[in-house]
Amino acid sequence: MARDDQNINALHTKSIIYRPEIDGLRALAVLPVMIYHAGISGITGGYVGVDVFFVISGYLITSILIAEVDKGKFNIATFYERRAKRILPALCLVSFLTTPVAILILSPSDLIDFGNSLISIATFSSNIFFWLEANYFEENVDLKPMLHTWSLSVEEQFYIVFPFFILLLRRLLKSHTCKLFMIAAALSFALSLVTYRAHASATFYLLPTRGWELLMGAVLAVPASNYNAAAGKAAVKNWLAIAGLSAILIPAFVYDKNTPFPGPYAIAPVVGTMLIIKYATPGTIVYRLLTVRPMIAIGLISYSAYLWHQPIISLFRYAKVEALFLWEQIALIFISLGMAFATWRFVEQPLRAARVTSKRSIFAWSAVALAAVAATGAILVQLKGMPARFGSNELGWATLEHSDEARTCLDKAEQCNLGSSKGPPNFAVIGDSHAWALFDALDDVASRYGLQGRFLASSACPPLLNVHLIKASPAKSRACKRVHDQIVPMLEQSPSIGTVFLVGRWQSAVAQNYDFRAWGLRTDAPADLPSSRAAFRAGVRHTAQELNAMGVRVVFVKQVPQQRELLEPLLARSWAALPWADREHSLSNGSVLVREHIERQREANAILLEGADFGADYYDPASVMCNNFRCPVAAGSSSFYSDDDHLSPAGAAKLAYGLVALIRPHRRPPQ
């Protein structure tokens, strides 16, 4: 995060004293973030360090602005000059030095994403970019080298408007400044409470739902020049500061990726930071802890440490493929701190101290640097991620496509034929895009056995009677309705269909992470996990009961083992860009473990099995996709996946014979 000078006097605001405990507080903010991104167990909520940074930033910048405005010394050009000198040198340096390593390691699609992230950094919109591109808590999001820059964009967007807001308040409503800050913070916080579950990613990344954290720091700064470190009873201040420290540390250990953050869960680190800023005065325990030399030293380099740690950890993890050892995680943190010190010592400090008489020069060089960062990103995007770095045959695995017929059937959500063109249909396949992935393989195998089937699917649609995809687009809702409306009539019109395979990404209805897609028994049902779980359960039971009553054999196809990541990055990391990599070893270690698959699908499978009470049968793809230890993503020259959870034609072929063997060619009499 952007850090203000440790000596506020350097900003010519001598009435604001230097507070060493705030440098220590910066260390308390950056270390949990670094440990969290390194993946060290225990600090599962280290991301709250960003909230600490927000409050510190709001407090210090507002202190400076109010002091200058009240003295009549405020100049907007000078303010942005200081921001440019403080933020841009280290930010641009990290962006430029990360790029050649990214070119060496990242897959084409990931390098395109990296290029787009550079463009968003240069335009201070990376929070918007990552909101549209990635959930902060999804798996493998830590492989994005510049993900952490989202918080810098939040701050810079805030400070585009905030100085003018303060200028207006101090001139027209000076006595109401604190109240108006609190009202603005309350509105932002209220919006966060309304959106943090239904729009979790937007709430996490965007300024309207994060601004209250900066504003709470601003509240403390009214008026900052009246700060008196000796004021108040020592015992009370001591305990309040300890409470503040606890409010930061406890979430860092207790929160995790499943915590619906920020929303109300951000209150603890925000209030904790406020208590420390207000009450950790000389003589308190917290003051003594925060002002030990190592804490102040890390605080001084905290901005550079924040900038360096994510690309260093991310790119190393990307290159290694498999999980990091503890010693590697610790080493990466120390490397990040070393790079941070070098950047602080040889870039940040000299450029801040440089005497440049012309603001125009500073703004011109800033514009050139940002334009260069953006141009670098644009070139990577224009070159389509430089795929020539890799063997085309290897990366060709990742783009394996199914037939045009299969895609047309999925897109139109209409019935299609499978297998033989002779005789009446014997079976039907109903599902979502996971069913689409099986289309060509089932078509081929059914033809060989002289069987004919019907295919009916639409992407993301629950293949269950009377179960809807909640908060779907109008077009998707219509597609799902077309599928549901055809199921029973199709079976009634084709009494020869003896078996129906129901294929879906079942786990998405009960996932407690980014995979979650709410299902409901009504189109206006709540988009929350309990409602989705109940709809899933009711749909399984109702569908099994109704189709079984028609004399149809109902076979729920359990979800295909979901790999740890998309296929292309795994292939890229195991091939030409990494000359030290063992390809087979990398592919093996990148494949999902059986125990991981079982745990991921535990709840979904338990609900699916309730259909057995109504005569349903089951087919488990893991029986052919997995060995005793892993579910391999590939073998030899064949990839079994086209992404992390859809089978390639080769993978689908492994399932097709087992599914065809379950087909009952005739329907039993209806019950």
- Both 356 and 434 in one domain: the answer is no
Token pair 């549901």: residue: 484
CATH number of the domain to which 456 belongs: 3.40.50.261
| Best CA proximity match to 418, nearest among 389, 444, 385, 380 | 444
- Both 368 and 430 in one domain: the answer is no
In a domain, 514, yes or no: yes
Which residues on adjacent β-strands are paired with residue 468? Answer: 520
Q: Over the chain, what is the mean pLDDT?
A: 88
Per-residue pLDDT reduced to its tens digit, 297-337: 999 999 999 999 999 999 998 887 777 899 999 999 999 99
- Both 359 and 448 in one domain: the answer is no
Residue 410: Cβ-neighbour burial (10 angstroms; 0-12, 13-18, 19+): buried
In a domain, 580, yes or no: no
Domain final residue, candidates 333, 361, 387: 387
Half-sphere exposure of 270 (CA within 13 A, CB side): 22
- Both 147 and 189 in one domain: the answer is yes
Task: Report the SS3 class of residue 155.
Answer: helix
- Both 137 and 260 in one domain: the answer is yes
Q: Report whether 66 contacts 174 (CB < 8 A).
A: no
> What pLDDT sits at residue 13?
41
In a domain, 15, yes or no: no
Domain final residue, candidates 356, 387, 418: 387
In a domain, 588, yes or no: no
Whether residue 582 is predicted with pLDDT greater than 80 in this model: the reply is no
Token pair 């005065």: residue: 281
Token digits of residue 317: 């993890």
Range of the domain at 428: 404-562+601-629+646-662
How many other CB atoms are found less than 10 A from the CB of residue 450?
12
Helix axes 326-343, 76-105, angle to 10 degrees: 140
Domain final residue, candidates 353, 387, 421: 387
> What pLDDT sits at residue 586?
66
In a domain, 17, yes or no: no
Strand order in the sheet with 617-619: 416-419, 452-457, 427-431, 499-503, 553-557, 617-619
In a domain, 12, yes or no: no
| Alpha-carbon distances, residue 364 vs 91, 156, 355, 368, 649 (angstroms) | 16, 18, 15, 6, 54
- Both 333 and 225 in one domain: the answer is yes
Bridging pattern class, strands 634-635 and 638-639: antiparallel
> What pLDDT sits at residue 191?
97
Bridging pattern class, strands 427-431 and 452-457: parallel
- Both 367 and 426 in one domain: the answer is no
- Both 454 and 544 in one domain: the answer is yes
| Whole-angstrom distance, CA of residue 388 vs CA of residue 395 | 10
> What pLDDT sits at residue 140?
76
Q: For the residues 518-524, what does the mean pLDDT come to?
A: 87
Half-sphere exposure of 569 (CA within 13 A, CB side): 27
- Both 365 and 428 in one domain: the answer is no
Token digits of residue 566: 């998309």
> What pLDDT sits at residue 574?
62
pLDDT band at 107 (very low <50, low <70, confident <90, very high): confident
Whether residue 189 is predicted with pLDDT greater than 50 in this model: the reply is yes
Whether residue 577 is predicted with pLDDT greater than 50 in this model: the reply is no
Per-residue pLDDT reduced to its tens digit, 10-64: 333 444 678 999 999 999 999 999 999 999 999 999 999 999 999 999 999 999 9
Q: Report whether 295 contacts 27 (CB < 8 A).
A: yes
Among 97-106, 404-413, 523-532, the range of highest mean pLDDT: 97-106
Per-residue pLDDT reduced to its tens digit, 452-481: 999 999 999 999 999 999 988 888 889 999
> What pLDDT sits at residue 608?
96
* CB proximity list for 142: less than 8 A, separation 6 or greater: 37, 39, 313, 314, 317
Per-residue pLDDT reduced to its tens digit, 398-454: 445 677 888 888 888 889 999 988 889 999 999 999 999 999 999 999 999 999 999
> What pLDDT sits at residue 12?
39
Q: For the residues 198-209, what does the mean pLDDT come to?
A: 94
Encode burial over 45-70: b for 16+ CB neighbours within 10 A, e otherwise: bbbbbbbbbbbbbbbbbbbbbbbbbb
| Best CA proximity match to 545, nearest among 600, 464, 445 | 464
- Both 331 and 410 in one domain: the answer is no
- Both 301 and 422 in one domain: the answer is no
Whether residue 373 is predicted with pLDDT greater than 90 in this model: the reply is yes
Per-residue pLDDT reduced to its tens digit, 496-510: 999 999 999 999 998
Number of domains in the chain: 2
In a domain, 440, yes or no: yes
- Both 310 and 197 in one domain: the answer is yes
| Whole-angstrom distance, CA of residue 181 vs CA of residue 177 | 6
Q: Report whether 29 contacts 179 (CB < 8 A).
A: no
Q: Report whether 468 contacts 477 (CB < 8 A).
A: yes
In a domain, 237, yes or no: yes
* CB proximity list for 449: less than 8 A, separation 6 or greater: 419, 660
DSSP per position, 79-147: HHHHHHHHHHHHHHHHHHHHHHHHHHHS-HHHHHHHHHHHHHHHTT-HHHHHHHH--TTSTTGGG-TTG
Whether residue 108 is predicted with pLDDT greater than 60 in this model: the reply is yes
Token digits of residue 609: 């099995």
Token pair 């917290």: residue: 286
Whether residue 6 is predicted with pLDDT greater than 60 in this model: the reply is no
pTM over 0.85: no
DSSP state letter for 641: B
